Every structure is written in C-alpha cells, then in structure tokens.
Amino acid sequence: MAIGTVGVVGLGTMGAGIAQVCLEAGHVVVASDAAPEAVAAGVGRIEAGLAKRVAKGLLTDEVATAARARLTATTDSAALGAAGIVIEAIVEELAPKRALFASLHEVCPADTILATNTSALSVSAIAAGCGRPERVVGLHFFNPAPLMRLVEVVRTEVVDADVFASALAFAAALGKEAVPCADTPGFLVNRLLIPILNDAIRAMEETGASPEDIDRAMRFGAGWPMGPFALADLVGLDVHAHASEAIWRGLREERMAPPARLQRMVEAGLLGRKAGRGFYDYS
C-alpha cells in the first residue's frame, strides 16, 4: 500500500518529532491536537526542528520550506480522513488511547492504517478499542524522533499481513531502521534496556558505587556510548519508571519492577535532564 498523506495525533515532543520525520521524507502531514495552544506549540517544535536541521547542513532552505508547506495543523480530527496512515502519539495511558482509536474508526476510511507510538502499552489492548483491530499496528519511534534511527514495528495476533507489511515498508521509507517485533511487554528495546537500567540503580545501592563510576565502567568496559545513569536522565526518570511498571505488570519478573530509589526520585520531581536534576545535576 502506497502511503501519501500521514496523520499525526498529538503534538507534544514525540508527535511533533514524528511529523517532522514524515515531512522530511516528502509526505503531506495532517497533524492534530485537541487544544489550539497545543497545535501552536507543536507547529513551533516542528519549525524549530527543521530550522535546526538547516543550520547543521542536513537540509537545504528549499527542502525545509517545502516541508513546512506540506504541513496542516488543526484541532479538527475530521481532517485525518485524508490520511493513508494515522500515527497516535498522545498521553501514555490505555483509556485515552482506546477512546481515540474508536474515534479514528469513525473518522478514517476503511483502508486507513492506524498506528500507535506507545512504548510500553499493549498494542492489542489499544486496538481492542477500535472497530478494525486488523488494521492497527505499533510504530514505536524513539525520542528524539528526527535523530533516533530505530522504529519498532509491532504486530498483534490479529493484524492483517498486508497492513503490517505496509507499515514496515512505510517506516523503512522514512529512512529508519524498521525492526519487526511481536506485541509483547516492552517490545524489544525496552524489554532488554529496562532491567539493565534497574540493575544499575540496584548495583549503585548494593555496592556503594557512584553513578559517575558506574557510567564510566559501562562506557570504557562495555563500550556503551553513554552510561546507564546518564541515559536514564536523558530518557526521563518518570518515563523510565512508567515503562518499567508497565513491563513488570505484563511479565511479573522482579528485574522489571521499578526500584524503590527510582520511585522516590520521581515523587521528588528529580526527573533527569528535563527537570534540571536526576542522578546528575544539570543546573
């Protein structure tokens, strides 16, 4: 299935980044959010992202200008009816996502592919809120979407084979590494990464080693480009804790459960880079 127009629902950091990626790939993009101020903020993120790419020599002014011209941003969800694929990037909670997919079923033509950018929730559970679960897939972009190369393309037990193949080809055509995976807790990356980051926190408490020393050990001993504590701060400790909790609920494996230290830091507002302080101080 050839996909021309892309719909994006939710214009926060992830949604705006996904919209920018699709614009740079030459797609017409219809981006929507419920609140006018969210739409305005999202457009600002997209324009700033394109401008940054121009400043770094990754895009020409002409390409960026053409990309901006292909963007329609609106609060009217009916505009999504023109899209061949709609990618949801709203709040990471099951009930709102299911409600959105039910509404997309009413708005979008029968052949539209519906995709969720969830990082930890069950794609099958989200699809169950829709009248066409066979046309629902997961497209898990990583943050920041314009820079991170990976997209996990998630298949459920009921997804149509041609729909999944189209979603995989769409992600690859964006210039991403499109990796297929099953709809299991954490998919691939978080299934592997979450317990490692949790182990790092527990090792810090059990051994008395500092975050700095553990990060240095993993960088220079294991060849990681960034240590686990610096990575957790970059991702956001609240995001990590939420994903950890979701995967633990799905698997009930102890290593997946968020450590008490992590939960205390989230409760205290120590969320990492975005808050100015996490395991490191960024003030």
Report, as residue numbers or ranges, the catalytic residues.
119, 140, 152, 190
Look up residue 246 and give its two tokens: 């979701």
Task: Give the distance between the most distant pair of CA atoms in the chain.
Answer: 58
Helix (H, G, I), strand (E, B) or coil at 228: helix
Question: How crowded is residue 78: how many other Cβ atoms within 10 Å of its Cβ?
Answer: 11
Going by C-alpha positions, the residue among 187, 163, 174, 169 that lies closest to residue 250 is 187
Non-local (6+) Cβ contacts of 129 within 8 A are: 97, 98, 99, 101, 102
User: Can you list the alpha helix ranges (DSSP code H) found in 108-180?
Assistant: 123-127, 161-173
In this structure, are residues 186 and 194 in contact, taking their beta carbons and an 8 Å threshold? yes
Question: How crowded is residue 57: how many other Cβ atoms within 10 Å of its Cβ?
Answer: 7
What residue type is assigned to position 279 of the chain?
F
Non-local (6+) Cβ contacts of 144 within 8 A are: 13, 17
User: Can you list the alpha helix ranges (DSSP code H) found in 185-256?
Assistant: 189-207, 211-221, 228-235, 237-251
Look up residue 214 and give its two tokens: 């553990």
User: Can you list the alpha helix ranges (DSSP code H) found in 56-210?
Assistant: 61-69, 94-107, 123-127, 161-173, 189-207
Going by C-alpha positions, the residue among 95, 151, 80 that lies closest to residue 126 is 95
